[in-house]
Amino acid sequence: MDKNQFLQSFAEQFDDVDPSSITTDTKFKDLEEWSSMVALMVIAMVDENYNKKITGADLREANTIGELYDRLNSRS
Amino acid sequence: MTNKTPFSLEGKHILVTGASSGIGLSICRAIAASGGKVTGTARRSELLDNMVRELGRNRASFIEADLSLDAGIEKVTAAVPEINGLVYAAGISKLVPLKFIKRQQLEEIMNINYFSMVLLLAQLVRQKKIVKNTYSSIVLISSVAQQIGTKSSLLYTGSKGAMSAAGRVMANELSLQKIRVNTIEPGMVQTAMASEMEDILSKETVEQDKRQYPLGYGTPEDVANAAVFLLSDASKWMTGRSLTLDGGRYSLLD
pLDDT by residue (tens digit) across B123-143? Answer: 999 999 999 999 999 999 999
pLDDT by residue (tens digit) across B157-200? Answer: 999 999 999 999 999 999 999 999 999 999 999 988 888 888 88
On whether residue B216 sits in a domain, the answer given is yes
On whether residue B61 sits in a domain, the answer given is yes
| Cα B168–chain centre separation | 15
- Taking CA atoms, what residue in A is nearest to B203? A60
On whether residue B235 sits in a domain, the answer given is yes
B130, B136 Cβ separation under 8 angstroms: yes
Note down the domain range covering B137. Answer: 13-243
- Taking CA atoms, what residue in A is nearest to B95? A40
Question: How far is it, in rounded angstroms, from Cα A16 to Cα B161?
Answer: 32
Active-site residue among B88, B114, B135, B156?
A: B156
Question: How far is it, in rounded angstroms, from Cα B152 to Cα B222?
Answer: 26
Q: Looking at the DSSP assignment, which residues form a beta bridge with residue B181?
A: B138
Q: Name the CA dihedral angle for B60, B66, B68, B70, rounded to a multiple of 10 degrees.
A: -100
Total-model pTM: 0.94
Whole-complex ipTM: 0.87
Q: Is A59 on the interface with B (CB under 8 A)?
A: yes
User: At B62, which CATH number?
Assistant: 3.40.50.720
Q: Name the CA dihedral angle for B233, B234, B240, B246, rounded to a multiple of 10 degrees.
A: -130
Whether the predicted pLDDT of B206 surpasses 90: no
pLDDT of residue B2: 60
On whether residue B136 sits in a domain, the answer given is yes
Query: B194 contacts in A (CB within 8 Å)?
Result: none
Average pLDDT, chain A: 93
Question: How far is it, in rounded angstroms, from Cα B30 to Cα B17?
Answer: 14
On whether residue B249 sits in a domain, the answer given is no
Q: How many domains does chain B have?
A: 1
Query: A44 contacts in B (CB within 8 Å)?
Result: 96-97, 100
pLDDT of residue B190: 92
Q: Is A33 on the interface with B (CB under 8 A)?
A: no
Average pLDDT, chain B: 95
Of A40, A54, A59, the CB nearest to B96: A40
